[in-house]
Amino acid sequence: MLLLGVLGVAVTARRAVLTGVGTVALIVAVAVIDWARPGPSSHLGLFVQRVIDGEALEVLAGKSAGAWATVAHPIGAPATVLCIAVAVLTVGPCGGARRSWCRPTGGGRCCSAWSSRSWCWPRSGRC
């Protein structure tokens, strides 16, 4: 999704679902191939074996608890907010590699995506 946004591609609900399904299918294929190959399996191959053994929910519950502990940590919550803010500024309506860093505000003025309306300048050719 981040790549689509940076490339300036409109992220529709259909593209989001297709990206998610494709990502999950790729990960499952790699995991099953790793599990099926001779020799010791990696982390993904071991997870496939746990799914077969019926232990997948226990593993997912442990992983979820660990992820929540990271976000719930006093430093984890602000870090999460910062990461989301950077992503929105990078690929949001005003960001992205193929878009200029300014947005029209009306009245022939243009604002930087990083600033408030008080930091606007007269419209340039970029906006």
Q: Is residue 71 located within the same domain as residue 113? A: no
Q: Is residue 91 located within the same domain as residue 122? A: no
Q: Mind listing the pLDDT tens digit for each residue in 38-83?
A: 999 899 999 999 999 999 999 999 999 999 998 888 898 899 899 8
Q: Which residue has the tokens 């746990």?
A: 50
Q: Mind listing the pLDDT tens digit for each residue in 14-46?
A: 988 999 999 999 999 999 999 999 999 899 999
Domain that holds residue 108: 100-127
Residue 87: the pLDDT is 80
Q: Is residue 24 located within the same domain as residue 41? A: yes
Q: What is the C-alpha to C-alpha distance for residues 60 and 65, in angstroms, rounded to an integer?
A: 9
* Number of domains comprising the chain: 2
Q: Is residue 111 located within the same domain as residue 123? A: yes
Annotate 43-82 with b (16+ C-beta within 10 A) or e (fewer).
Answer: eebebbeebeeeeeeeeeeeeeeeeeeeeeeeeeeeeeee
